[in-house]
A and B are shown apart, each in its own frame.
Chain A
Amino acid sequence: MIQFLIKRLIGLVFVVIGVTFITFIMGYFAPGDPIRTMLGEHFSPQLYAQLRHAYGLDLPWYEQYWNFLVHLAHFDFGYSFKTQGRPVWDILKDGVPVSMELALWALVIYLLIGVPVGIISALKANTWVDTLNMGIMLVLYAMPIFVFCVLVQVLIVFIDQETGANWPVANWGTPWHYTWTDIQFKLAPVLVFGLAGAAYFARITRTSMLEVMRQDYIRTARAKGLPERLVIYRHALRNALIPLITVTGVTLGFTITGAFLIENIFNIPGIGTITVSSVLDRDYPVIQATAVLLAIGVVLGNLLADIAYTLVDPRIKLE
């Protein structure tokens, strides 16, 4: 276990270094001179040299990269190019709670809707219930998430027009506050996000459940006369849910990229919106910080999922 953890941590460090290097080198070789753009009409040679020095851009690339890493290790993400002197963290910090709130509620829906739907489908495999469930889930899963967002928006507009209601089509309320107006804002994006992921969970749960139901110990449980209810809930379900732990870790990547698009369509001021606007402004320090943060998040999520997996299932031996 310890050995496995150490091995994974080394792998993690490797991946993080890879990611930081890629993001750094992309920013380094990016065409155009950020300082020149920043100065604009106020350009003067000594001001230019002064600013280049202040941002550390006059150093050779390996020293720049080293500084970047050292600062990262101190959770210092440097200063924005666009709004001079404003720390990157200051720009990101408003978006973080919003994105986390969105992702957390989405995860709750993945589990609360996806898993039961998958179980029902597996238990009623190849009946009309299963076909209908899986048909809906397949469409939700395969459809681009932003198309789903747009369709929901159109539906809201239609309902508003028909009933005279005033349900909001976009925007986000106060993070982590749940008054009626906040809920009105948050319900649609959270549901869209949650259902898209739930579709994936339902498919995995169904496959895993069907796999478990074929096992010998299920046959044994039935043969010794256990009621079907006990066979399903005590014996099958517990084992069928194990793969979902890994899947939950893997979905982090999906959750992040999904959040970029959902935040864009629903006009939510989260990390995704901030990243995209800094990409459009070519504000590299902000981009680098988000890229590294998100990658670390994904890797850590996978690591936690792996650990949880071994704790839950004693059959799994980690090399």
Chain B
Amino acid sequence: MDMRDREIQPASPLIAPDTNLMVPAEPELLVETPGVIPETEGPKERKPVSPLRESLRRLRRDTRAMVSLGVIIFMVLLSLFGPFVYQHLGGIYDSPDNGPIPATVYRTFYHQELSRQDELPSAQYWLGTDDLGRDILARLMQGLLVSISVAVLVEVIDITMGILVGVLAGYFGGWIDQVLARLTDIIFAFPGLLFIILLTGIFGTWADTTLSNVPIVGPNGNARLLLVSAALALVSWPLMARLVRGQTLQIKEQQFIEAARTAGSSNFKIIWRHIIPNLFSIVVVAATLDISNTIIGEASISLLGLGVQQPGSSLGLMISEASNAVDTHPWEVLVPSLTLAILVLAFSFLGDGLRDAFDPRTKD
């Protein structure tokens, strides 16, 4: 009985299918008589736990996923607040080239201190300097900020487009479904990175001049990031849509959808109230795993010289600059490489952990 129920349900319903969201009276009733229900129900009745809470409990017990989550939170905080803290911890440096300068100058990711090239870590430069005498830690934090911003931007587009098109294709079928199928065919046939290389290569210089006027993007060689993000989102959303479509097809055959339709719910209401909430877990897992690919994608493009431009910083750009001098200054290439590897692995592990937590059956 139990097994059969599980088979019929979608992979991981976070909202119990029978929860009637349209009737607000139910929870109030529970609040009014808090002491009565447990007494009458007897001791063998356990408190019902929502599937979401159950999944989170499983996730908390997954050490690898929790360590990864910690690493991700640390990296996000580092990229957001690290530069301010780092710059306020330093004193005045009497530079032979530039005279006395405060840490807010020499600990920026673009300041070149030409008398201090290729240094190893010191009290002044915590992770040393690169071949132009720039602070590696400052560049690293800026690079992390770039990676994370691109990841967020791409996932927002990816999730929005993926759910919108995927649900419509799965629920209504028809021409949207056909177009989506053909699109994913092309995306599968065409290596994604190659497409992004083409797009950024052809429109890169145009983006440099046009997009650098966008306020937040700023002039520091980051203009192409919008282009890179758009390109990455363009190749990733059809896959998300296909995933959502599959899940939608599965959900719409469920009995609670039939019940909702019988009760007179419109298509819009069924999609909004019943289908989209049930897509939560699958979308979260796919998006987390896709963040890894997005971060690798941005770094690859910057590595090839098509992403972030000088004097801006990105983990890929740092690796590409330092890899020319790998035989004389291996430290400079190790720092961004290892940081990127840790960041990407953390997102992969967290994604795997989330998948196991939401749907324990997928675990071998």
Contacts and interface: CB of A to CB of B under 8 A. Distances in A.
Interface in A253-283: 253, 256-257, 260-261, 264-265, 275-276, 279-280, 282
A143 B206 CA distance: 32
B203 A31 contact: yes
Contact of B198 (A26, A31, A150): A26
Interface residues of B, number: 45
A294 B202 CA distance: 18
Interface in B291-349: 292, 296, 299-300, 303-306, 316, 319-320, 323, 326-327, 330, 333-334, 337-338, 340-341, 344-345, 348-349
Nearest to B305: A280
Interface stretch (A13-21, A64-72, A219-227, A236-244): A13-21
Given A154-B333, A257-B194, A264 B303 contact: yes
Contact of A143 (B182, B192, B300, B344): B344
B197 interface: yes
B69 interface: no
B334 A144 contact: no
A15 B197 contact: no
Interface in B161-204: 182, 185-186, 188-195, 197-199, 201-203
25 contacts: A19-B186, A19-B189, A23-B198, A27-B202, A31-B203, A143-B344, A144-B344, A150-B323, A150-B333, A150-B334, A158-B330, A253-B192, A257-B191, A257-B192, A260-B197, A260-B300, A276-B197, A279-B201, A279-B202, A280-B306, A282-B202, A287-B202, A294-B191, A295-B189, A302-B189
Interface of B: 182, 185-186, 188-195, 197-199, 201-203, 205-206, 292, 296, 299-300, 303-306, 316, 319-320, 323, 326-327, 330, 333-334, 337-338, 340-341, 344-345, 348-349, 364
Contact of B202 (A257, A260, A284): A284
Contact of A147 (B191, B193, B197, B337): B337
A261 B300 contact: yes
Nearest to A30: B202
Contact of A144 (B195, B199, B299, B305): B299
Nearest to A275: B197
B327 A157 contact: yes
A125 interface: yes
Nearest to A12: B189
A300 to B, nearest CB: 10
Given A142-B344, A265-B303, 14 more contacts: A15-B186, A27-B202, A30-B203, A31-B206, A138-B348, A143-B344, A144-B340, A144-B341, A146-B316, A147-B319, A264-B304, A287-B201, A291-B198, A295-B191
A107 to B, nearest CB: 16
Interface string A166-183: 000100000000000000
Give the secondary structure class of B's interface: helix
Nearest to A168: B327
Nearest to A15: B189
A267 to B, nearest CB: 9
Interface residues of A, number: 51
Contacts of B306: 276, 279-280
Interface of A: 11, 14-15, 18-19, 22-23, 26-27, 30-32, 125, 138-139, 142-144, 146-147, 150-151, 153-154, 157-158, 160, 169, 207, 210, 253, 256-257, 260-261, 264-265, 275-276, 279-280, 282, 284, 287, 290-291, 294-295, 298-299, 302
B198 A154 contact: no
A235 to B, nearest CB: 20
Contacts of A154: 326, 330, 333-334
B5 to A, nearest CB: 23
Query: Could you say which of A150, A257, A265 has the most chain B C-beta atoms within 10 Å of its C-beta?
Result: A150
A275 B190 CA distance: 15
A295 B201 CA distance: 18
A275 to B, nearest CB: 7
Given A19-B186, A257-B193, A265-B323, A139 B345 contact: yes
Contacts of A253: 188, 191-192
